[in-house]
Each structure stands twice: as structure tokens, then as C-alpha cells.
Structure 1
Amino acid sequence: MEIDDADRRILRILQSDSSLPLEEIGARAGLSRNACWRRIRAMEAAGVVRGRVALIDPSAVGCPLTAFIHLRAPHPSPDWVKTLAEVTAPMPEILSVYRLSGDLGFLLKAQIAGMAAYDSLYQTLISRVDLAEISASFVLENLKDSTALPV
């Protein structure tokens, strides 16, 4: 799908507050309600807009600690990557799993209640996935955290 300036305006608005009524989104984007609705639907159908979610304060729901977990596979293979994906998929505390270039291999982002929750997560990972190395870094202060892409 070709994204034009009007689509970009809509995307910036949706990224800041997707709960706005169509009339408000259209007014801010300089479009009629119907034109705005058609563009949003087209972007959803094309997969540009993958979903609309609420952003929740982790501390308010009992998981204030962010952990970045560094993994290295003993012998990386497509089967090992598939196993990691299958093990982590049903774990709600693991928010992201990345395969990286360089020495590190894989990076997981987890949102957890505290060190006891991290230890439980750690024990689960080492019991279900063959690992050459695992370590973690914990966020002490969040200086910036955004979901908005530069459109």
C-alpha cells in the first residue's frame, strides 16, 4: 500500500490516541469523517495498522520490573529458534523476542513483578530451552519508552 501525507497524519493521530472518535481524527487530519474511515479501513486491510491497544502502566498491574534477557544458543539452528518461539509464545511476561546480529544471539524483553518472578522465568527458560548462555539486565530508570513510529 502506498502511504500518502493524509495517511501519515492519520497514523500519527492514531499512535497518540486511537480511542478518538472518527470525527476528531478526521478534523485533526484535515479530512471528512468518511474519508478518514475509508483510509483507516484500507490501512487495516493492508496490515499497516495491525491493531489498536490500550497502553497500561506496568506498576499499576503488579509488574514494575523490566528485564532484558540475553540468550545464546549452543548450536543455532532453525529448530532451536522454533523451540524458543514455541516456549516463549504462551508466556505473557515475555513481551518481545528478538534474533540479533552479532555475538549476543537473542534478546527477550520481559515485564515482571520482581526478582522472584525473574527467577521463576529463568528456571522455566533453562528447563525448556537448551542454552549456551543466559544473562539479564534490569531497567533502573526508564528515560524514554514509546510505541509511536516516525511516520
Structure 2
Amino acid sequence: MTALDLIDRKIVAELMRDATMPVARIADRVGLTQTPCWKRIQKLEATGVLTGRVALANPARLGFGLTVFVGVEAPDHSSEWRQQFSRAIDTMPEIMEVYRMAGELDYLLRVSVSDMADFDRLYRDLTDAVPIKNITSHFVMERMRFSTSYPVDTRNR
């Protein structure tokens, strides 16, 4: 873990809120001039604290009206199966996130699709591509809270 001072944490928090914000405005908000602020941003990128800048989109407006959390139980935990599973999910852009889990599930996937028929197609594609012991699907009825910002501590202590 990279140790961040208060200024770095404030810069990261500002960029997570709005990555399009001009460096001059970020600098003003964190108490720096523009050049030192830009150098800190570059260092945060070089050290891997900042990994990218993206635009966030409304999934429904893009035709992705159904979000599904899919739990996967592997039939075994061999290297071969993990590689086959990884190759399969890499070909399916509807699978937005994948987590290897501890506990009852081996993997948890966040899937965005247009509708139930689209999810059924993805389900069949996944189960045809790799043997799976069990799949459990949880359909999102309402997204009540969503954030891409981590709760970085920006208080001066």
C-alpha cells in the first residue's frame, strides 16, 4: 500500500468525484498551485494509486436494463479449470466484474444485460464454455446506491 499524505488523499478524492475537473481547480481545492498539483497527480498515476479516468454512463439509457449478480461454484479448483473460466469470462463483455470469493461461492459476477432473454443467452454461453457445479442468480430490482468513489479520509488530523 502506498502511504498518502493529506494532500494526495484530497487530490484522489477530487478526481474520484469528477475526473474532468481542471488541474487548476483541483489545486485550488487542495491548497496547492497548479504545477505541484499536476506533479502529484502524475506520481499518483505512476505509482498505481490512480489507475484510469473514465466516464460513467447510465446503464438503462444504454439499453442495459437488467443487472444480475451471479454466484458460481466451481466443480474443482484446478489451475486448468481457473484458466478455462478466465478465458470464458474474458469473451463476455456483459460480465462487468468478477470476484474470486471465500465462503459458499467461488466466484461472484456482476452482469449487465438488456433483458431476461439476453441473460439467458449469456447463461447458456457461460455454461457451454466451462463446466460449473452450480450457478445462483440474483436479479436487481432497484439500484439504491452506487458509487465508484472510495471513502478516502480527507480530514486533517
TM-score range, shorter chain: over 0.9
Q: Which residue of 2 aligns with 1:103?
A: 104
> Helix, strand or coil for the counterpart of 2:35?
helix
1:12 and 1:25 map into 2 onto residues whose CA distance is: 10
1:93 and 1:49 map into 2 onto residues whose CA distance is: 25
Q: Which residue of 2 aligns with 1:134?
A: 135
Structure 1 residue 90, shift from structure 2 partner = 2.6
TM-score, normalising length from structure 2?
0.93
Deviations 1:13-54 (A, max 9, x none): 000000011111111111111111000000100010000000
> Helix, strand or coil for the counterpart of 1:97?
strand
Identity, in percent, stands at: 39
1:2 and 1:106 map into 2 onto residues whose CA distance is: 30
Deviations 1:99-122 (A, max 9, x none): 110121111101110101100000
Deviations 1:116-142 (A, max 9, x none): 110000000000011010121010111
Find out whether 1:83 has 2:84 as its counterpart: yes
2:78 and 2:94 map into 1 onto residues whose CA distance is: 25
1:32 and 1:83 map into 2 onto residues whose CA distance is: 50
Runs of 4+ with >4 A deviation: none
2:33 and 2:8 map into 1 onto residues whose CA distance is: 13
TM-score, normalising length from structure 1?
0.97
Structure 1 residue 75, shift from structure 2 partner = 1.1
Task: Please tell me the root mean square deviation across aligned C-alpha atoms, in Å.
Answer: 0.9
Q: Which residue of 2 aligns with 1:117?
A: 118
2:5 and 2:90 map into 1 onto residues whose CA distance is: 35
Q: Which residue of 1 aligns with 2:73?
A: 72
Q: How many residues align?
A: 151
Q: Which residue of 2 aligns with 1:39?
A: 40
Q: Which residue of 2 aligns with 1:7?
A: 8
AA at the equivalent of 2:78: S
2:65 and 2:34 map into 1 onto residues whose CA distance is: 39
2:91 and 2:24 map into 1 onto residues whose CA distance is: 38
AA at the equivalent of 1:135: T
2:52 and 2:11 map into 1 onto residues whose CA distance is: 14
Deviations 1:70-90 (A, max 9, x none): 111111222212211111113
